[in-house]
Amino acid sequence: MVVLDAARRVLGASRRARESLQGLVEGAPFPDELLDTGVGRTALEIPLDVDGQRETLLYLSAPGDLAAYEELRAGFTAAVSHELRTPLARLMALLDSVSLPGADTAALVEQARGEVVQMGELIDDVLFLSELESGRVVVSLGSTPALGVLERVIDRLAPRAEAAGMVIELRCPASVELPVRQRMLEVLAGNLIENAIRYAGDGARCTVEVSRDAAGATLVVVDDGRGVPEQDLPRLFERFFRSDRARASRGTGLGLAIVKHIVTSAGGSVEARNGGAGGLEVYCTFP
């Protein structure tokens, strides 16, 4: 992505553009040879009016990138619409039932409230993931001591864990830091623990462990619950994917997708495995 002024001088450029385009210098004329499709790029120019000044937003891509982006955007929009349609249909059915003779109005209204809450959570997760992917939210800006943040997250989720009969254990040295902002660590740990509470099953145990060695730092969340079918493990971090055992849950289907985006944006990697004695293990590794 490159921004040009009215004289087609370079005003700014994305990091990827600066690294991959030879001859790109801020303040200098944009080299028109970079637009030559013979080098395997396609160009999209968007004229802008910024404070009365004419500018151009220039997007350079590999062949097929724009089509792939449009396909991805259309698929994401369709998935969001589908995910919203289900609670909306349940909400309408509940509201229609209120007028039936002998209806328990208070109970129906409470169920309707739950559907509204679920839709709100889905919208919040969609917006947050969109901000992550657009770069409007900075993930890694310094390091955060992990212990205090994880203790607060576990305390916040304690009532939900207790309701599910889950015991959460924290193992984290006070000296270990993770290379993400505090807010991102809260979201990361919260989504992983909520995933365990929601899907591990009643009476499961969850262990949150942070460690560091010469290669980097690792955040691991392990439960001894029902686990995930082996064929579903590679898809756990896809948007809206739910394993067959989790389809009855009221989760948004975006929690682990957000986890993956936060970890990879900080230069790390994430992996899900089935535990040897059952349950799910999620490893977030930071270099």
pLDDT in tens, 48-60: 777 778 888 888 7
| Inter-residue contact 263 to 188 (CB < 8 Å) | yes
239 or 183, higher pLDDT: 183
Residue pLDDT, tens place only, 165-218: 999 999 999 999 998 888 889 989 999 999 999 888 888 999 999 999 988 999
Task: Report, as an integer, the average pLDDT of 34-56.
Answer: 72
| Inter-residue contact 154 to 168 (CB < 8 Å) | yes
pLDDT above 60 for 72: no
pLDDT above 60 for 243: yes
247 pLDDT tier (thresholds 50, 70, 90): very low
Task: Report, as an integer, the average pLDDT of 64-93.
Answer: 67
Residue pLDDT, tens place only, 76-87: 666 666 667 777
| Residues paired with 55 in a beta bridge | 48
73 pLDDT tier (thresholds 50, 70, 90): low
250 pLDDT tier (thresholds 50, 70, 90): low
pLDDT above 60 for 156: yes
The number of C-alpha atoms within 13 Å of 43 and in the hemisphere containing its C-beta is 16
pLDDT above 70 for 63: no
| pLDDT > 70 fraction of the chain, expressed in percent and rounded | 80
pLDDT above 90 for 26: no
- The dihedrals phi and psi of 250, each to the nearest 5 degrees, come to -95, 20
CA neighbor of 121 nearest in space, from 162, 84, 153, 76: 84
| Residues paired with 236 in a beta bridge | none
Interatomic CA distance for residues 255 and 122, integer angstroms: 10
The burial of 266, by beta-carbon neighbours within 10 Å (0-12 exposed, 13-18 middle, 19 or more buried), is given as buried
CA neighbor of 108 nearest in space, from 124, 89, 121, 95: 95
What pLDDT, on a 0 to 100 scale, did the predictor assign at position 17? 81
What are the b/e assignments for 163-181, b being 16+ CB within 10 Å?
ebebebebebeeebbbbbb
What are the strands, taking DSSP E only, across 23-178?
42-50, 53-61, 144-145, 167-171, 177-178
**Helices then strands, each counted (H, E), the chain:** 6, 11
CA angle (204, 205, 211) in 5-degree steps: 150
Task: Report, as an integer, the average pLDDT of 10-14.
Answer: 87
Give SS3 for 104. Answer: coil
pLDDT above 70 for 262: yes
**List of long-range contacts for 20-26, beta carbons under 8 Å, 24+ apart:** 21/60
Interatomic CA distance for residues 117 and 91, integer angstroms: 11
184 or 242, higher pLDDT: 184
Q: How far apart are the first and last CA of the chain?
A: 28
What pLDDT, on a 0 to 100 scale, did the predictor assign at position 248? 47
| Inter-residue contact 265 to 132 (CB < 8 Å) | yes
Residue pLDDT, tens place only, 128-146: 776 666 665 566 667 889 9
| Inter-residue contact 122 to 84 (CB < 8 Å) | yes
